[in-house]
Amino acid sequence: MATTEAAAPRGTLQELAKRHLWMHFSRLGAYGDGADIPIIVKGDGCYVWDDHGNRYLDGLSALFCVNIGHGRTEVAQAGADQARDLGFFTTWSYAHPPAIELAARIANLAPGDLNRVFFTSGGGESVETALKLVRHYHKLTGHPNKTKVIAREVAYHGTTMGALSATGVTALRAPYEPFAPGGCHVPNTNLYRLPPGYGAENLAEAVAHRIEFEGPDTVGAVIMEPVQNAGGCFTPPEGYFQRVREICDEYDVLLISDEVICAWGRLGHYFGAERYGYQPDLITTAKGLTSSYAPMGAVIASDRVAEPFLDGTTSFAHGFTWGGHPMCAAVAMANLDVFEREGLNEHVRENEGAFRDMLESLRDIEIVGDVRGAGYFCALELVKDRDTTKSFSREESESLLRGFLSAELFRRGLICRADDRGDPVIQLSPPLIAGPEQFEEMEAVLRPVLEEASRRMLHH
Ligand SMILES: Cc1ncc(COP(=O)(O)O)c(C=O)c1O
C-alpha cells in the first residue's frame, strides 16, 4: 500500500497485524472476524505477557529458542556493545574478533574433531549449507555421484528448497515440489508405533537397506536429529546412533546431526550427540546458540570434511552476507557465558526427572497414550484408544487440536505446541531455567484441559 504521502499507518496493533503481518505457518483465515492474533509484548524468565497484560508460562521457549529464558538484557547488550566497535563486517574473505572467538569456542565445546565452524543466519540455512557441503566434499574426494541424502519420515529440517527435500512431512513438501532432488526417507524412531518389520533393536538397519536400495555410490549423507522433533520427541533406542555411525562409515556416507533444537542444553548437554554418545561429521545448529536474542546458526564440520577445502584454489562457493554477524556472535558469546555461569546443562540434567515425572503423572488421563522425550524436550501423544494405540482421524485431530486444545491451553496461560504433523501430540520444551515451580504450573493447566479433551473426544 505504498502512497506518495508518508502517512503513519493507522489502526490498533491488532488491526495492523491482521492487515499487514504475514505470520509464518499460520492460517491467516483463522483471524477473520472476531478471533484475535495473540500479540506478545514482554518476556521475563519463563514467562511472557500479551498486549492485554495476561501472563503465560512459555512452555515452548518461544519455539525451542529462548533457552536461557526471557528478559536477559545483558545478552542483548553484548550485541550493542559490539556495535560500538564494529556493527557489521562480512566474513566473505575477512574475519573479525567476535566470529573468530565464537568459532573457537564452539569448536572447543563440540564433540571430537568438529573443529571448523561455518556461520549462517538460522537453522534452514545451516541445513542447506550442510547439504551443499556434503555434495562438494564428495566431488572433491572423487565421488561426484554421492548426492542423495537420507532423512527420516516426519522429520522437519527446514523450508528452503534443499532442506525441504530432507524434510519428511508430506504436507509441508507437496505444495512446493519439485525441489532439490536426492531426498529419501527411512522410518523414524517412533517406538510407540514401530514400522512393520522393525523392532527397536534393528531400526537403524533401515538406513543400510535404503543405501543399498539407492546405490551406495549415490548416497552422500544421512541427516537426523538426536531426538526428532516433528512427530513428538522421538528418542533413539539404545545403540541406534552407534549403528547408524557404523553404517555411514561402511558406505562412506557423512552423518549430519541436525541439532537446531537439540543443542545448547535442550537435552542437558551442549550437543545432543554428546548425550547419545555418537560422533557426527557435521552438526547443524541455530536457535539456542544465541538463545535467539539475535538470529544466528552454524554448521560445525569435522577435520575430515574440512580437509579437501584447505589446499590450493578450492573454495566452498557458498555463503550468506550475514554469516558470523559480529553483533550476533557477541550475543552468542554472552549467551554461552550465561550457560557456564549458571550451570544450565547441569540444571537440566538435575531437573529433567521431575519434569518427566510430572508428565508421566498425566498418564491416568484416558486420552494420554504416550509420554516421551529427553531433557527439557518432551511430548504427550494423544490417542483415541490406549489399549490399541489407535489414533484420531485427520478430522478428529483437527477438532481436538485446533478446535479445542491450542486455544484452551493458551487461554489458561500455558504456551506449548499442539501439533499433528504426525499423530496428535502436545510438546513441552521450557526454558532451561525452569524448575519444579513451573512443572507444577504446567500440570495445573494440562490436567484439566486434557481431562476435558478426553470427555469431548472419547465420551461425547
Ligand atoms: C531440526 C530442525 N532443522 C532445521 C530447522 C529450520 O530452522 P529455521 O526455522 O531457523 O530455518 C528447524 C526449525 O525448527 C529444526 O527444528
pLDDT value at position 50?
98
**Nearest atom in ligand 1 to 286's CA:** 10
Nearest residue to 125 via CA among 321, 315, 329, 271: 321
pLDDT value at position 58?
98
Q: Ligand 1: distance of its center to the CA of 124 in Å? A: 5
pLDDT value at position 3?
53
Q: Ligand 1: distance of its center to the CA of 125 in Å? A: 9
Q: Ligand 1: distance of its center to the CA of 129 in Å? A: 13
SS3 content of the chain, % helix, strand, coil (to 5): 40, 15, 40
- pTM of this structure: 0.97
The grid coordinates listed for 366 are: 484416558
Alpha helices in 2-159 (DSSP H): 13-20, 61-64, 73-86, 97-109, 123-140
Does residue 258's CB lie within 6 angstroms of at least one atom of ligand 1? yes
Q: In a mutational test of the pocket of ligand 1, which residue from 67, 156, 282 has the highest number of ligand atoms less than 8 Å from its CB? A: 156
Does residue 127's CB lie within 6 angstroms of at least one atom of ligand 1? yes
Distance of CA 244 to the CA centre of its chain: 21
The grid coordinates listed for 10 are: 493507522
Give CA separation, 2 vs 7, 8, 9, 136, in Å.
Answer: 10, 11, 11, 44
Residue 156 in 3-state DSSP? coil
Torsion of CA 443, 457, 378, 187, to 10 degrees: 170
In the sheet where 297-302 sits, what is the strand order?
114-120, 297-302, 282-285, 254-258, 219-224, 148-152, 183-186
Digitized pLDDT (tens) for each residue of the chain, 460 residues in all: 555 556 777 889 999 999 999 999 999 998 887 789 999 999 999 999 999 999 999 999 999 999 999 999 999 999 999 999 999 999 999 999 999 999 999 999 999 999 999 999 999 999 999 999 999 999 999 999 999 999 999 999 999 999 999 999 999 999 999 989 999 999 999 999 999 999 999 999 999 999 999 999 999 999 999 999 999 999 999 999 999 999 999 999 999 999 999 999 999 999 999 999 999 999 999 999 999 999 999 999 999 999 999 999 999 999 999 999 999 999 999 999 999 999 999 999 999 999 999 999 999 999 999 999 999 999 999 999 999 999 999 999 999 999 999 999 999 999 999 988 889 999 999 999 999 999 999 999 999 999 999 999 998 7
The grid coordinates listed for 269 are: 548437554
Does residue 156's CB lie within 6 angstroms of at least one atom of ligand 1? yes
The C-alpha R_g of the chain, in whole angstroms, comes to 22
Does residue 286's CB lie within 6 angstroms of at least one atom of ligand 1? yes
Q: Ligand 1: distance of its center to the CA of 127 in Å? A: 8
Q: Ligand 1: distance of its center to the CA of 450 in Å? A: 28
Q: What is the length of the chain? A: 460
pLDDT value at position 6?
63
The grid coordinates listed for 251 are: 558406505
Q: Are strands 297-302 and 282-285 parallel, antiparallel or unpaired?
A: antiparallel
**Nearest atom in ligand 1 to 258's CA:** 1
CB atoms within 10 A of CB 46: 22
Please report how the helices 436-458 and 344-360 are oriented relative to each other, as an axis angle in degrees rounded to 10.
30
DSSP letter string, 359-426: HHGGGGSTTEEEEEEETTEEEEEE-SBTTTTB---HHHHHHHIIIIIHHHHHHTTEE-EEE-SSS-EE
268-301: burial string, b at 16+ Cβ within 10 Å, e else:
bbbbbbbbbebbbbbbbbbbbbbbbbbbbbbbbb
Q: Ligand 1: distance of its center to the CA of 157 in Å? A: 5
Q: Is the peptide bond before 38 cis (omega within 30 degrees of 0)?
A: no
The grid coordinates listed for 411 are: 487461554
Give dist(CA 189, CA 428) in Å, integer: 19
